[in-house]
Amino acid sequence: MPSKIFSMELSGLDGCLVEIEVDARCAMPSIAIVGLPDAAVQEARERVQSAVKNSDFPFPRGRVVINLAPADLKKAGPRHDLAIALGVIAHSGIVPEHHFHNTIFLGELSLEGQVRPITGVLASVEHAKKRGFKKIMVPKENASEAALIPGIQIWPVGDLREAVLYLSDAISAIPPEPPPIEHKVINAIDMCLIKGQFQAKRALEIAAAGGHNILIL
């Protein structure tokens, strides 16, 4: 049976759920990624295979097929590396899949199995929460950004081995703290300090009073 795991694709500022299926069958050893992947996603074949092996996990023998659904949604970038690798490991029966149905997995992998930061984490976490997911696994560098969205558990991971330990319930996640809010000091500016430009200053006053937009050339 194929293993199934969830990731998140971004379309502008909107998140789109991606279901990743991993299956293997007896054939000449090869890896195929289908489901409208771009070049960066296609290259995940090499990153994931090296990351899994260098993390001391077995890689399935034969032909490995990785399906990214829905097939008509373009998948871009390395954000699905972690989910693909965990799907491959789960297919070998190493980790239980009871966390998979309510967790989103995001992260780029190095050849050594390190989880690298990605872009668009805030929008991904927000959409995961809207879709009813309870947890999201993200790179440690993105954890404080992900923590800005309340009501969803954040799993920060530094490498593939740590991700497997979370899924095996061998360790528990420490909730990350959101980044501190910076209070910037804004010096008061009085337009009386500007010499001349009477029409421009009058236009600014009217725009400010009425809450209008203004463009000055």
Read off the pLDDT of residues 142-181 as tens digits, 9 standing for 90 and up. 999 999 999 999 999 999 999 999 999 888 877 787 777 6
Confidence of residue 49 (pLDDT cuts 50, 70, 90): very high
Give the model's pLDDT for residue 184.
66
C-alpha 136/C-alpha 103 separation (Å) is 5
Give the model's pLDDT for residue 106.
97
Cα–Cα nearest to 11, from 75, 67, 72:
75
- Record the tokens describing residue 63, joined without a space: 């032909």
Give the model's pLDDT for residue 6.
97
- Record the tokens describing residue 5, joined without a space: 């795991």
C-alpha 105/C-alpha 54 separation (Å) is 20
Separation in Å, CA 33 to CA 36, 43, 186: 9, 9, 52
Give the model's pLDDT for residue 77.
93
C-alpha 100/C-alpha 103 separation (Å) is 5
Q: Is the pLDDT at 195 greater than 90, yes or no?
A: no
Give the model's pLDDT for residue 39.
94
Q: What is the pTM of this model?
A: 0.80
Tell me the percentage of the chain whose pLDDT exceeds 90. Answer: 68
Measured between its terminal Cα atoms, the distance across the chain in Å is 65
- pLDDT for 78-135, tens place per residue? 999 999 999 999 998 888 888 899 999 999 999 999 999 999 999 999 999 999 999 9
Give the model's pLDDT for residue 2.
87
C-alpha 182/C-alpha 166 separation (Å) is 33
Q: Is 85 helix (H, G, I), strand (E, B) or coil?
A: helix
- Pair 106, 82: CB distance under 8 Å: yes
Identify the structural domains of the chain with CATH numbers, from first to last.
Answer: 3-167 (3.30.230.10)
- Pair 14, 103: CB distance under 8 Å: no
- Pair 13, 123: CB distance under 8 Å: yes
C-alpha 4/C-alpha 17 separation (Å) is 13
Burial of 93 (0-12, 13-18, 19+ CB in 10 A): exposed
